[in-house]
Structure 1
Amino acid sequence: MNSKNIRALNYLYYFFIVAKQGSISKSAEQLAVTQGAISKQIVNLEQILGVQLFKRESRGVSLTQEGRILYESISPCIDVIFSAFNRIQNQEDSNVIKIICTEAVAHYWLAPITYQFSEDFPNINIHITSSNAISAEVIEAYDFGILYGNGQWDALNTFLLFQEKISPICHIDYPVEDIKTINDLMKHKLIQLDPYQWRWITWQEWMKINHSQYHPQKDTLVYNQVTLALAACTNKQGIALGWEFMVKDLVKNNILKKISQFETLTGMNDYLVNSKYKKLSSHAQIFRDWLIASIK
C-alpha cells in the first residue's frame, strides 16, 4: 500500500460520518471538532482520489455518484469494526440476536415476522441492521444475515428462505386491460429503479430475462429505493417491478395488483446465512429453528 492510500485511510472516517449525517455541522458536533477541520479532511480525500465526493448545498451536503460508491463500499467494513469493538468492550448479552439484511427484506419481510417471534419468546431480543451494501464478508459480525444469490458461499451455512419471483405491479384501480404482451406493457408509464444505486433487477434486466428489450421512456419515474417505487404504485403513478415477498400483503389487501401473466422466476434466491466458524448461541438456534418452521 503506497503512502497516498495510507493518507486516504486517515480521512475515510470523516467522510463516513459526513455521508451518514448529510451535514458538516452535525458531523462536527458528533466528532467534537470544528467544521473547518472536517472540510479539510474531505478536501484532502477528494484530492487524493481525484473526484468530488459531495455536492455542497444550502442545507447540507449530498453524495455524488462517486461518493455513493465509496460510502456503500466502506459502510459494511466500518459496521464490522465497530461491532467487534462492541463485542470486546461489552461482552454482548447472548439473549440479543443480531441480523443483517437489505432494507427491503427488513421492511417488507423480516421486521413483520419478528413481531410474532418476540411474542413467542419475549426474553430474546432481535436487533435488525438494514444495509443495501450487505455482502458475505460482513456476516461474521452478526448471528445471521439474509443474502441474495445462488447460495454458494464457502464460509457460510445457508438455508433457502424464498425464491426471487418478480411481477409487474400497479395500483388495484390502474387500468391494465389492454396489456396482452410485453410491448403493450412498455406503452404504459413504467416506474424504474436507479441502476446506479439499486444493485438488483431493473426493467432492463427483467425485459432481457423475458426475451425483450427495454426502451427507456422520456418521462420515466426513477427512484433509488424499492420502497419509493412501491409508494409511487400505491399513488397510481404507473407500473413497477414487485418482488413477491414485498408485495404479497399489499396484493392481499387489495392495494396493489400483479400483472400475473408476466410473473418471472429469475433463478436467484434469498437465504438465511450464518458463519461456519462462529458457534450459534442457544437463543440464536431457537430463532433459526423458529424462522425455518414459520416459512414451511
Structure 2
Amino acid sequence: MNTQSLRLLNTLPPLEALVSFEAVARCGSFTRAARELSITQSAVSKQIKGLEEALRCALFDRHVRGIQLSAAGASFLEELEPLLYKLHRAVLRVQHEHDTQAISIACTQAVAHFWLFPRVVRFNQMYPDIAVNIISSNTINERSCNDSDFGILYGDGDWPSLEGTRLFPEIVYPVCSTELSLPQPETVADLCSLPLIQLDSRAWDCMDWQDWFKHFGLIYDTPRNAITFNQVTLVFNAALEGLGVSLGWDYMARQAIDSGKLRQLGGFAYETGRWDYLVHAKHRPLTEPAQIFHDWLV
C-alpha cells in the first residue's frame, strides 16, 4: 500500500459508521436503524458518536420527540448516499459475474421498504436458490436501472433504453395515526388548519403538500414552524408516531391502514395518472432466474 493510499485510509471514517449514519437518517430513528442493521441501538449510537467526532460536527439535532438531520447532516447525506449506492452496485456486479442465480433490483428507499421487501421475502420462500439483491436509493434513474437486472422506476413509462411493465399507480391522500385525535375534514380546505408534516423534495422528483393542494385548486403556504423532513420514509414514520398529518402514498399506507395504525383523513385522493414500473434493459436478455422473478412479480 502506497503513501497516498495510507493517507486516504487514515482520513476516512469506518464504513460501518457511514452505513449506520445512512440507516439512521433514512429511518429517522436509532432503534429502527439498529433493527434494520441487526445490531444493538447502543452500537448504532456509538457509530454515530464516533462519526460526529471524526467530522467535528453534529449530524443530528436531538429533540424530545426524536431526532432530525442537522444542516451538516443533510448536506453530508446528500453526498454520501450516491457513493454508498455506487459501492453497493459495484460489489453486486462483481458477485453477479460468478453467481448466475443472483439478480439485482434498484428502487427508491420507500418502494424497497414498504412494497418490494415483503414480496421478496415471499419470492425467496418459493425460490430459495435465487438470491434477490435490493439496491435502494432515491437517486435512481433510467441510466442506473440499466446497471441492474431490474429497476422499479416512477413515471409515465417512456424510457428509450428500458422495457417497462406497470406495477402500481400513484394514489396520494392524507393520513394520520389512529391515536391522533383530529376532526374528519369535510372539504380539502379544512386540511390546511391541521398539523401537516412537510416533505422537502427539492432534491428529487416527489410530490409535496403544495403540489397536492394545487391539484384541488388551492394555494397552500407552508407554515414557518411546520415539521419538515426530506425523505418520504421519515414523513411516513412521523405520521405513524402521531406527530401530525402526512401525505400517504397508497402503496406505503395501505397495510398500515388495514392494520389500524393509520387512518385516511377525508375521502380526498389524488390519482396522478403516473405509475411505478418494473423495468429492465432492452438490449440485454433476461437470465432464467431474472425471467422467473419478472413473471412472478408481475
- After TM superposition, is the score higher than 0.5? yes
What is the CA distance between 1:218 and its match in structure 2?
Answer: 2.6
> Does 2:229 align with 1:223?
yes
Q: Deviations over 1:94-139 (max 9, x none)?
A: 1111111000000001001111111111111111110011011012
Structure 1 contact 97–126 (Cα < 8 Å) conserved: yes
User: Counterparts of 1:147-226 in structure 2 under 5 Å?
Assistant: 147-197=153-203, 199-226=205-232
1:256-277 CA distance string (max 9 Å, x none):
0112421110121100000011
Q: 2 CA distance for matches of 1:289 and 1:188?
A: 44
Per-residue CA deviations over 1:64-94 (Å, capped at 9, x if unaligned) read 776665556666666655555x16xx72311
Whole-angstrom distance in 1 between the partners of 2:156 and 2:16: 35
8 Å CA contact 1:164–1:244 kept in 2: the answer is yes
The amino acid that maps onto 2:249 is W
Equivalent position of 1:135 in the other structure: 141
Rate the CA distance shift 1:137–1:218 in 2: closer, same or farther, 3 A.
same
Partner amino acid for 1:57?
C
Q: 2:276 aligned to 261, 270, 273, which one?
A: 270
**Corresponding residue of 2:25:** none
Unmatched 5+ stretches in structure 1: 1-12, 27-54
CA deviation after TM superposition for structure 1 residue 286, in Å: 0.5
> Structure 1 pair 244/114, CA: closer, same or farther in 2 (3 Å)?
same
Aligned-residue identity in percent: 32
Distance change (3 Å), C-alpha of 1:156 and 1:240: same
SS in 1 for 2:170: strand
Paired position in structure 1 for 2:47: none
TM-score scaled by structure 1?
Answer: 0.73
What SS class does the counterpart of residue 157 from structure 1 fall into? Answer: strand
CA pair 206-96 structure 1, distance change in 2 beyond 3 A: same
Is 2:296 the partner of 1:286?
no
- Is residue 57 of structure 1 aligned with residue 68 of structure 2? no
Q: Call closer, same or farther: CA 1:212–1:19 in 2, change over 3 Å.
A: farther
Structure 1 residue 224: Cα displacement: 1.9
In structure 1, C-alpha distance between the alignment counterparts of 2:170 and 2:280, rounded to whole Å: 20
Residue identity opposite 1:267 in structure 2: G
After superposition, give the CA deviation of every residue in 1:29-66 in whole Å (9 maximum; x if it has no partner): xxxxxxxxxxxxxxxxxxxxxxxxxx841689975776
Q: C-alpha separation between the residues in 1 aligned to 2:14 and 2:222?
A: 31
Tell me if structure 2 keeps the 8 A contact 1:19–1:71.
Answer: no
Letter in 1 for 2:208: T
Tell me by how many angstroms 1:177 deviates: 3.2
Per-residue deviation, 1:219: 2.2
Aligned mates of 2:154, 2:230 — CA distance in 1:
18
Q: Distance in 2 between matches of 1:142 and 1:59?
A: 31
* Aligned 8 A contact 1:167 1:243 in 2: yes
Q: CA RMSD in A?
A: 3.1
Cα deviations across residues 138-176 of structure 1 (Å, max 9, x unaligned)? 122211000001100011010000000000001113344
Distance in 1, Cα, partners of 2:142 & 2:59 = 36
